[in-house]
Structure 1
Amino acid sequence: MNFPAQMPAAPGADRIGQGTAVEQSRAVAEVQAAIYVARQFPREVGRARNAMQSACGSMALASKAFYRFPRAGGAVEGSTIHLAKTLAQTWGNIQYGVTELRRDDDYRQSEMQAFAWDVEANTRHVLTFIVPHAKFTKGKGVEALIDLRDIYENNANNGARRLREAIFATIPDFFIEEAEDLCRQTLSKGDGKPMPERIEGAVQVFKGLGVSAERLEQKLGRPRDQWTGADIAQLLITHKSIQRREIAVDDEFPQARITGVEIKNNASRGKGPSAPPTDDDPWANEPPK
């Protein structure tokens, strides 16, 4: 009896292709080379500080070094991923990154990983986390993300936050604190323009967002002619956060409410919604009825 020739076994899951083997060898060689270079050219703290001070002294970095967003009736402020990456570059011998390990469309979530590795000190901070394909919106609660671009942006935003944490966990605290102080000083000093010009520029920028000068004065607690460099710095941080959609305009600059006493006082002076508006008239922005 003739038996058929034995068929070759199907490739198993543990079989490594040539491309995979090459990539693994390249990754190992890359790690070894990074460690070798870091040992041959160790960082100089003095040079790193000079590079950091130069970077934090520019408005280009200082203007996007901080974020602000509302939480539990207040606001949370901190340093952005832009500052974190700059500090990693100036500190030197640090590798960092964020990757999407797996996307599960059935469960609508992505498994991601962010890391920062000090090659010279051989310290590594890794964060593995799950990002749901959803976002929270006011009035609607949790809303599922369907569009691929929305999912990508959601993953990128969550990855950037974890990457910032990983980088800051690798860099010394004194280096971070000095950089933050210098960035705030740069924001307070501005770009060399006189204070009245900086104030007018801030008013015009927020006017484009629908925020009047009166609402800015209400937020800062004093008229514009008394604003300081620190006030302009706070407004600049808020403006950048609004542009990044971290905070809503109405949350940061709530509309002023008219009290019953003000209504009675306006009525006693013959003012009201139908009276001719004046500069101090709280009904000035009301449409005619």
Structure 2
Amino acid sequence: MTSPASRIGQSTAIEMSRAEAEVKAAVFIAQQSPRNIETAQAEMRFACNQYALAEKAFFSYRRGGDIITGPSIHLARELALIYGNVQHGTMELSRDTTLGQSEILAYAWDLQRNSRSSQIFIAPHIRDTRNGKKDLTDLRDVYENNANLGARRLREAIFAMLPAWYTAEAISICQETLAKGNGETLEARVKQAIDEYGRVGVTVQQLETKLGRSQDRWNESDVVELQVIFQSVAKGEMTRDEAFPPLRVTASEITGQEPAQQ
């Protein structure tokens, strides 16, 4: 009786050997060329002061009745790149179309310290919609669903591997960069936010309801919140209707008549 190992094809065996050699080489190079913490910190500060990074540095999505916010996968990848000697990624280990699920690995590996954060999780081929859960059968839909769920786990893996002080400072600088804006006045940024949301069908009234104040009273923090939500909707982390539930129209508003007094 042959063992499982003996049934491995030649191409698979070559790929396994190549991957093993690549890992050993990466670890060796990382240990021979260790990162410079001061240089990494200085480069991180420069990057987080750039508005192009700061505007993509945070996410926002709805879970149950709560809005969850935090640093995004875009920021995680940028910080890992700057920190140096870090490998990260996701890998689909298996896909079961009968059960409608995939098994996915997300990992972040500090080659220099040989510190690794990884997670294997099950990704159901399901999408939440306004009309309930929808089974995904189209290959592109399954791929996008797996990529989205994988990015969330990858974000967690990278931040678990990076030093807490490094991440905390990056988040703080990005928040300050967003609050300062891209060299524009607050009035211009308010107008831009209203115009952007208007193009996707969100009214000023919905924005004012979301923030709890009229547009003439919005401040830098309000504009930053709208920017984060807009980016999250654009990236598919939550839908427009989840972020801004449609306004309810009463019968009196439709007919123009006040309801009869009892």
TM-score (norm 1): 0.81
Quick one: which of 53, 64, 67 aligns to 1:75? Answer: 67
1:199 aligns with 2:190: yes
1:96 aligns with 2:96: no
Of 247-256 and 90-99, more deviation after overlay is shown by: 247-256
Q: Which has the higher contact order (CA 8 A, sep 6+)?
A: 2
Q: 1:107: Cα distance to partner?
A: 1.8
* Paired position in structure 2 for 1:242: 233
The whole-number CA distance in structure 2 between the counterparts of 1:20 and 1:210 is 51
1:59 aligns with 2:48: no
Q: 1:76: Cα distance to partner?
A: 0.7
State the one-letter code of the partner of 1:246: E
Q: 1:33: Cα distance to partner?
A: 1.3
* Paired position in structure 1 for 2:213: 222
* Paired position in structure 1 for 2:11: 19
Unmatched segments (≥5 aa) in structure 1 = 1-8, 264-270, 276-289
Q: 1:120: Cα distance to partner?
A: 0.6
State the one-letter code of the partner of 1:250: D
The whole-number CA distance in structure 2 between the counterparts of 1:50 and 1:245 is 32
Q: 1:250: Cα distance to partner?
A: 3.2
Distance 1:245 1:31, change over 3 A: closer
Q: 1:215: Cα distance to partner?
A: 2.4
The whole-number CA distance in structure 1 between the counterparts of 2:249 and 2:11 is 70
Residues 147-189 of structure 1, C-alpha deviations (whole Å, 9 max, x = no match): 1111111111111111111111100111111111111111111
Of 217-226 and 86-95, more deviation after overlay is shown by: 217-226
Of 241-250 and 43-52, more deviation after overlay is shown by: 241-250
Percent identity of equivalent pairs: 44
SS at match of 2:44: helix
Q: 1:274: Cα distance to partner?
A: 4.8
TM-score (norm 2): 0.89
Q: What is the number of residues matched between the two proteins?
A: 257
SS at match of 2:46: helix
Quick one: which of 112, 119, 133 aligns to 2:111? Answer: 119
* Paired position in structure 2 for 1:160: 151
Residues 90-117 of structure 1, C-alpha deviations (whole Å, 9 max, x = no match): 1111111111111122222111111111
* Paired position in structure 1 for 2:260: none
> As a proportion of its length, which structure holds more helix?
2
SS at match of 1:37: helix
CA root-mean-square deviation: 2.5
Distance 1:45 1:12, change over 3 A: closer
Distance 1:16 1:58, change over 3 A: same
* Paired position in structure 2 for 1:174: 165
